[in-house]
Amino acid sequence: MIFTEADVVLVNKIDLAPLLDFDIDSFTKAVKELNAGAEILQVSCKIGQGLKDWFSWLESQIKSRHSQ
C-alpha cells in the first residue's frame, strides 16, 4: 500500500469537505496506523489553503537532499 512508504500525504480539495461524506480524522488515523512518520497536509488549490505548508515541505526536502 502506498501510504506505508509515503513521506507526505496530500488531501486535496479540502474546500469540498463540508459537502462530502469524508471523515478527515478517520483518514488521518488510518494513515498514521500504517505510517506514523507520514506528514498529512490538507490543501485546496482552489482557495489556496495549505499550499504554504506544502511548498515549505517541498523546499525542506530539496534542501535536505542537496546537503547530503
pLDDT digits (tens, 9 = 90+) for 11-31: 999 999 889 999 999 999 999
pLDDT tens-place string over residues 30-52: 999 999 999 999 999 999 999 99
Q: What is the pLDDT of residue 49?
A: 96
Grid cell for residue 67: 546537503
| Domain residue limits at 27 | 2-66
Closest CA to 17 of 57, 38, 54, 46: 46
> Which pTM does this prediction carry?
0.85
What pLDDT is recorded for position 6?
A: 94
User: How many domains, the chain?
Assistant: 1
